């Protein structure tokens, strides 16, 4: 199973002690070298001798996640120290990082300088060894100096204590239920041994060197990798998980692409750059925005010759190597065509913020420049100027007119102020002038120190302006946001031309490539599915083109990774394009319909998910339910007699509750906890899961969730945990499989006919065709649409202990 190495490596001493104990058991004749005491890093933590006399060394590094440039440098420095002292015959690196293809290429490349270099033992190797040596983790948990307080470690200790292992944790009598069912969420790690697919797809998605392959040979103009990769599989087969793993792998590999910091003055340069970045984090000054709008009005919207490079932008030199920007888009959340395009544009805007500028003012300048090209700039400039004026100016003007007229009528009046006589007319003129002066000063301060977002509509500085056809509501919107093309409702193509096209140019010019991950496409409607594929086709066909675009004609500014069920999507495309003759698809390529032809022409790399292999099923079950108990101390108890199984000689039931149980709730949880880790039950679970055709991880989770629920319901109905035996748990696996596999039959199987459930009516007749047909008619399942499901149900009841399963259904329903 997978261990939380990111948390375990947070404390170097604890991680080092845990892995050292593990190596002392794994490696033959292993020991900790005595000359390692008192040294911070000599490059050898554990040394062992093989039967042939070879000296094998292991170096432990508290690395987790990815192998960054700084970590590579540490490994090389360690190897240099080992080579300078007394190099062993083999030197193995042990860390909680599984190497990628590029990591292995770098690691194996070190053998030229260090011939004693051995293997890279990563997180998967550590997981396997800890599963094979559970006592290592057990001893580490009982170490009073250890602080492994993560939930996994606590639950592991409670799980072992609940199984009655007296060698440790004897003071724990009640465990918590580790397994409470599963939600339908993508897994965070590879449970089905598909990392080879992840690494291969990531290789093709990573930006290639300009004009050359990884081997240095020239490639064709279109030989930079596929533009559309389809992750194909039925619902629940793990498409979302695989896409997330691919995205993580691509992002992790960028650590290798980014240049390393070199130079003795690099530290000081970084500090100076941080100081400048802090200054630029402030938002765009309003004075820069006003001057830009003035320059646009004088020179024209398309002029690039301005004194304000911050707002007009300057072309950047082509980067030596490119990185990627990943976007997750779920079209299922949108309904109409306009919403899909607006949603895709918004997701690209959010994901490409780094390409729009590293500081807040740069991003605001970017969007002001883009939006000003299609808005009413004169009206926008008047709006910001009007908002910039201080309210004191308005008050001063009004205060200057009214009092002056009133006081001039009695000009001979004098007021006493600070021992001086002040004429009323002078006072009437002086106070408004003071307000006007304060208003002018306030306006000047606003102009010099104000931020543009305080005086301009916020939408202009935060993304593409959505008005007219794409706005949620145009009532009450600011008149400064008038876009004549949007108000004319020219359709989504204008949004593509003016928003996504500019974003693609910006992303490409900043040294990045866009990868869009589109998931749950097979859940969309037929029209929504067609809209998404039309969008992809526009990206690939070059329709997203602007006259001033700086992207090379043969460049691939974006790629797509699409998760779909091919059969469902092809049916949706057939429905959306029903006016297209289906015979066109079969011409030449024997496609069953035009929808399949569309998919074949658009997708360059179809990646079909393989079925779950038996060894992957074992690993996935262990990851979901925890490791199998090695040697539980069991206590026997007699099961309650049943009507169907009274004549059968049953094996003794197994009571897995510890001798000193506490409250009934804790007693129940301890029972279920022990049952889910019992090796016999685990074998039964894996047998039933392996027997299902086209099994997906979603269906496996569904069966396990139903099974644990039935365990709890049965215990509460019987009012005692003594009935929770291994035999009952095994039969409940069959009942949970019936519920999970055939939901359409549940109404008839749980309905009572003459005092018996439908399942109990069917069970005695699995061996006789005529009686089976009568039982189906009696329970209302003789419809032709249920024929295949009833045939498989009959086979299952015949091979399993049908009477015992039927008896459990009588007790549950």
String of DSSP letters for 98-162: ---HHHHHHHHHGGGT-TTEEEEE-HHHHHHHHHH-HHHHHHHHT-TT----SHHHHHHHHHHHH
Same domain, residue pair 24 and 98: yes
Contacts 24+ apart (CB under 8 A), 536-540: 536/228, 536/560, 536/562, 536/602, 537/602, 538/496, 540/227, 540/228, 540/602
Question: Residue 578, exposed/middle/buried by CB under 10 A (0-12, 13-18, 19+)?
Answer: exposed
Same domain, residue pair 759 and 777: yes
> At 112, which CATH number?
3.40.1350.10
For every residue of 61-104, DSSP letters joined together read EEEES---HHHHHHHHHHHHHHHHS---SEEEEEEE----HHHH
pLDDT in tens, 97-153: 988 878 888 898 898 889 899 999 998 888 888 877 776 765 555 443 444 434 444
Look at residue 173 and tell me if it is in a domain: no
Q: Cα torsion at 700, 703, 706, 711 (round to 10°)?
A: -100
Look at residue 620 and tell me if it is in a domain: yes
Look at residue 104 and tell me if it is in a domain: yes
Same domain, residue pair 663 and 533: no
pLDDT in tens, 26-73: 876 788 876 544 344 567 888 888 877 888 999 999 898 888 888 898
From CA 702, how far away is CA 171, in angstroms rounded? Answer: 35
Quote the mean pLDDT of the chain. 69
From CA 720, how far away is CA 472, in angstroms rounded? Answer: 58
Same domain, residue pair 408 and 491: no
Q: Which of 61, 85, 56 is nearest to 74 (CA)?
A: 61
**pLDDT score of 93:** 92
**pLDDT score of 166:** 35
Compute the half-sphere exposure of residue 747: CA atoms within 13 Å on the CB side of its CA. Answer: 4
Compute the half-sphere exposure of residue 488: CA atoms within 13 Å on the CB side of its CA. Answer: 8
Same domain, residue pair 674 and 804: yes
Same domain, residue pair 662 and 739: yes
Same domain, residue pair 651 and 766: yes
Q: Is the pLDDT of residue 459 over 80?
A: no
Same domain, residue pair 11 and 95: yes
Q: Is 798 or 498 the better-scoring residue by pLDDT? A: 798
Q: Is the pLDDT of residue 787 over 80?
A: yes
The backbone torsions φ and ψ at residue 49, rounded to the nearest 5 degrees and listed phi first, read -120, 130
From CA 374, how far away is CA 465, in angstroms rounded? Answer: 9
**pLDDT score of 620:** 67
> Which of 94, 118, 149 marks a domain boundary?
149
Q: What is the mean pLDDT of residues 614-623?
A: 66
Same domain, residue pair 775 and 788: yes
Q: How far apart are the first and last CA of the chain?
A: 36
From CA 473, how far away is CA 502, in angstroms rounded? Answer: 25
Cα angle 332-335-340, degrees, rounded to a multiple of 5: 75
Instruction: Among 14-28, 201-215, 386-400, 626-640, name the one with the lowest average pLDDT.
Output: 626-640
Which sign, positive or negative, has the C-alpha torsion 146, 147, 150, 151?
Answer: positive
213, 232, 467, 527, 565 from 568: Cα distances, Å: 37, 11, 35, 13, 5
The backbone torsions φ and ψ at residue 92, rounded to the nearest 5 degrees and listed phi first, read -105, 140
Q: Is the pLDDT of residue 806 over 70?
A: yes
Question: What are the beta bridge partners of residue 414?
Answer: 423
CB neighbours of residue 133 within 10 Å:
15
**pLDDT score of 173:** 30
Query: Taking a C-beta distance cutoff of 8 angstroms, is the pair 524, 332 a contact?
Result: yes
**pLDDT score of 585:** 46
Q: What is the mean pLDDT of residues 364-379?
A: 66
Which residue is associated with the tokens 């830009």? 292
64, 131, 271, 490 from 266: Cα distances, Å: 26, 45, 9, 52
Q: Cα torsion at 332, 334, 340, 345 (round to 10°)?
A: -100
Q: Which tokens hold the place of 90?
A: 């083999």
From CA 270, how far away is CA 526, in angstroms rounded? Answer: 52
Kindly list the strands in the beta sheet with 55-64, ordered across the sheet, starting from the edge strand earlier in the chain. 30-31, 46-49, 55-64, 90-96, 117-121
6, 128, 129, 153, 388 from 11: Cα distances, Å: 10, 22, 20, 15, 55
Q: Please state at what angle helix 151-162 crosses helix 134-141, rounded to 10 degrees.
A: 110
Look at residue 105 and tell me if it is in a domain: yes
**pLDDT score of 279:** 52
Number of domains present in the structure of the chain? 4
Query: Taking a C-beta distance cutoff of 8 angstroms, is the pair 195, 619 a contact?
Result: no
Confidence band (pLDDT; 50, 70, 90) for 637?
A: very low
Question: Residue 606, exposed/middle/buried by CB under 10 A (0-12, 13-18, 19+)?
Answer: middle
Same domain, residue pair 755 and 621: yes
Range of the domain at 632: 614-812
68, 268, 269 from 264: Cα distances, Å: 20, 9, 10
Q: Is the pLDDT of residue 657 over 50?
A: no
Q: What is the pTM of this model?
A: 0.53
pLDDT in tens, 560-575: 899 888 888 888 888 8
Confidence band (pLDDT; 50, 70, 90) for 643?
A: very low
From CA 108, how far away is CA 118, in angstroms rounded? Answer: 9
Question: What are the beta bridge partners of residue 756?
Answer: 753
Query: Taking a C-beta distance cutoff of 8 angstroms, is the pair 103, 67 a contact?
Result: yes
Confidence band (pLDDT; 50, 70, 90) for 654?
A: very low
Cα angle 316-318-321, degrees, rounded to a multiple of 5: 125
Instruction: Among 157-171, 390-404, 552-566, name the one with the lowest average pLDDT.
Output: 157-171
Q: Which tokens hold the place of 213?
A: 């392959």
From CA 498, how far away is CA 116, in angstroms rounded? Answer: 58
Q: Is the pLDDT of residue 774 over 80?
A: yes
> Which of 558, 575, 609 marks a domain boundary?
609
Q: Is the pLDDT of residue 268 over 70?
A: no
Look at residue 269 and tell me if it is in a domain: no
Question: What are the beta bridge partners of residue 31?
Answer: 47
**Type and span of the H or E element at 561:** strand 558-564
Q: Is 756 or 420 the better-scoring residue by pLDDT? A: 756
Query: Taking a C-beta distance cutoff of 8 angstroms, is the pair 92, 119 a contact?
Result: yes
Kindly list the strands in the beta sheet with 605-608, ordered across the sheet, starting from the edge strand earlier in the chain. 323-329, 512-518, 558-564, 228-232, 605-608
Query: Taking a C-beta distance cutoff of 8 angstroms, is the pair 65, 6 a contact?
Result: yes
pLDDT in tens, 211-237: 444 444 444 445 567 788 888 888 777
Q: Is the pLDDT of residue 556 over 70?
A: no
Look at residue 306 and tell me if it is in a domain: no
From CA 174, how far away is CA 177, in angstroms rounded? Answer: 10
pLDDT in tens, 67-85: 888 889 889 989 988 888 8
CB neighbours of residue 438 within 10 Å:
15
Confidence band (pLDDT; 50, 70, 90) for 789?
A: confident
From CA 5, how far away is CA 431, in angstroms rounded? Answer: 72
Q: Which tokens hold the place of 81?
A: 């120290």
Same domain, residue pair 355 and 208: yes
Percent share of the chain, pLDDT over 90: 3
Q: Is the pLDDT of residue 582 over 70?
A: no
649, 723, 761, 763, 807 from 804: Cα distances, Å: 12, 14, 13, 10, 5
Q: How far is CA 2 from the centre of its chain?
A: 18
Instruction: Among 188-197, 283-292, 593-602, name the one with the lowest average pLDDT.
Output: 283-292
Same domain, residue pair 587 and 626: no
**pLDDT score of 567:** 85
634, 640, 662, 664, 757 from 659: Cα distances, Å: 10, 20, 10, 13, 37
Look at residue 279 and tell me if it is in a domain: no
Q: Which of 625, 741, 567, 569 is nearest to 180 (CA)?
A: 625
**pLDDT score of 26:** 82
> Which of 576, 593, 609 marks a domain boundary?
609
> At 597, which CATH number?
3.40.50
């Amino acid at each position: 199973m997978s261990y939380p190495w990111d948390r375990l490596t947070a404390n170097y001493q604890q991680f080092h002690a845990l892995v050292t104990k593990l190596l002392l058991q794994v490696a033959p004749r292993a020991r900790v070298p005595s000359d390692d005491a008192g040294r911070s890093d000599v490059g050898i933590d554990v040394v062992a001798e093989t039967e042939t006399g070879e000296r094998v060394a292991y170096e432990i590094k508290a690395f987790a996640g990815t192998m960054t440039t700084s970590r590579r440098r540490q490994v090389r420095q360690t190897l240099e120290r080992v080579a300078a002292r007394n190099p062993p015959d083999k030197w193995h690196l042990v860390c909680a990082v599984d190497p990628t293809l590029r990591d292995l290429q770098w690691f194996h490349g070190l053998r030229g300088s260090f011939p004693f270099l051995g293997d890279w033992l990563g997180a998967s190797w550590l997981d396997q060894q800890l599963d094979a040596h559970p006592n290592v983790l057990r001893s580490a948990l009982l170490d009073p100096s250890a602080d492994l307080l993560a939930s996994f470690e606590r639950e592991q200790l409670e799980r072992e204590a609940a199984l009655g292992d007296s060698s440790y944790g004897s003071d724990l009598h009640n465990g918590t239920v580790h397994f409470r069912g599963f939600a339908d969420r993508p897994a965070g790690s590879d449970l089905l041994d598909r990392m080879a697919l992840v690494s291969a797809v990531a290789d093709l998605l990573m930006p290639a060197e300009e004009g050359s392959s990884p081997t240095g040979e020239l490639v064709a103009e279109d030989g930079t990798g596929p533009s559309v990769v389809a992750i194909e599989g039925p619902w629940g087969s793990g498409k979302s998980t695989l896409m997330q793993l691919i995205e993580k792998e691509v992002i992790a590999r960028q650590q290798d692409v980014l240049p390393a910091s070199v130079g003795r003055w690099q530290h000081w340069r970084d500090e100076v750059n941080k100081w400048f970045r802090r200054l630029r984090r402030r938002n765009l000054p309003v004075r820069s925005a006003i001057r830009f709008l003035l320059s646009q009005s004088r020179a024209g919207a398309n002029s690039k010759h301005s004194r304000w490079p911050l707002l007009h932008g300057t072309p950047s030199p082509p980067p030596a190597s490119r990185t990627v920007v990943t976007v997750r888009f779920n079209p299922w959340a949108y309904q109409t065509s306009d919403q899909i395009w607006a949603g895709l544009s918004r997701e690209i805007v959010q994901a490409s913020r780094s390409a729009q500028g590293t500081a807040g003012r740069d991003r605001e300048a970017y969007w002001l420049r883009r939006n000003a090209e299609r808005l009413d700039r004169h009206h926008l400039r008047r709006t910001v100027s009007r908002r910039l004026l201080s309210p004191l100016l308005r008050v001063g003007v009004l205060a200057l007119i009214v009092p002056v007229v009133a006081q001039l009528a009695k000009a001979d009046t004098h007021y006493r102020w600070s021992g001086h006589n002040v004429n009323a007319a002078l006072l009437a003129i002086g106070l408004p002038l003071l307000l006007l002066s304060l208003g002018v000063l306030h306006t000047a301060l606003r102009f010099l120190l104000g931020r543009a977002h305080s005086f301009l509509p916020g939408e202009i500085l935060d993304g593409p302006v959505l008005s007219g056809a794409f706005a949620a509501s145009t009532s009450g919107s600011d008149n400064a946001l008038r876009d004549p093309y949007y108000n004319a409702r020219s359709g989504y193509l204008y949004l593509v031309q003016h928003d996504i096209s500019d974003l693609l140019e910006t992303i490409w010019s900043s040294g990045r490539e866009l990868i869009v991950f589109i998931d749950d496409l097979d859940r969309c409607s037929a029209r929504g599915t067609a809209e998404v594929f039309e969008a992809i086709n526009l990206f690939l066909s070059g329709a997203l083109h602007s006259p001033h675009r700086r992207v090379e004609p043969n460049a691939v500014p974006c790629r797509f990774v699409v998760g779909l069920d091919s059969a469902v999507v092809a049916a949706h495309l057939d429905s959306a394009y029903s006016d297209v003759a289906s015979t066109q698809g079969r011409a030449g390529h024997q496609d069953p319909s035009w929808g399949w032809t569309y998919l074949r022409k658009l997708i360059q790399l179809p990646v079909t998910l393989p079925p779950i292999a038996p060894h992957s099923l074992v690993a996935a079950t262990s990851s979901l339910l925890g490791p199998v108990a090695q040697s539980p101390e069991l206590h026997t108890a007699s099961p309650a007699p049943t009507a169907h199984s009274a004549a059968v000689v049953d094996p003794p039931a197994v009571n897995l509750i510890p001798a000193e149980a506490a409250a009934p709730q804790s007693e129940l949880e301890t029972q279920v906890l022990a049952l889910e880790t019992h090796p016999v039950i685990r074998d039964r679970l894996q047998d039933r899961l392996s027997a299902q055709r086209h099994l997906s991880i979603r269906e496996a989770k569904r069966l396990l969730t139903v099974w644990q629920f039935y365990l709890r319901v049965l215990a509460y109905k019987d009012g005692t945990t003594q009935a929770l035996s291994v035999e009952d748990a095994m039969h409940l696996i069959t009942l949970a499989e019936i519920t999970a596999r055939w939901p359409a039959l549940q109404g008839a199987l749980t309905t009572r006919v003459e005092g018996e459930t439908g399942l109990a009516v069917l069970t005695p007749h699995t061996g006789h065709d005529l009686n089976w047909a009568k039982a189906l008619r009696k329970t209302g399942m003789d419809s032709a649409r249920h024929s295949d499901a009833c045939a498989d149900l009959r086979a299952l009841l015949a091979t399993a202990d049908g009477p015992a399963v039927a008896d459990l259904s009588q007790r549950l329903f």
